[in-house]
Amino acid sequence: MCDTDLYSIILSLNNTSKEFIESLDVTPENMVSGPVFYDEEDEEE
């Protein structure tokens, strides 16, 4: 798989994620922080 294919896949995934987030009406801040348990692990480090 060449870089352009991978890039286009990432773009399409990103666009799908945006539409999905907007349909859920979730704020970008919540999506960036990710799962709560993952944040707790980061804070401990």
Q: How confident is the prediction along the chain (45 residues), in pLDDT tens digits per residue? A: 577 888 888 888 887 777 776 766 656 665 555 555 555 555 555
Phi first, then psi: give them for residue 29, nearest 5 degrees.
Answer: -60, -40
Give residue 17's pLDDT. 76
Strand extents, DSSP E, the chain: none
On whether the pTM is more than 0.85, the answer is no
DSSP 25: T
* Burial of 23 (C-beta count, 10 Å sphere; 0-12/13-18/19+): exposed
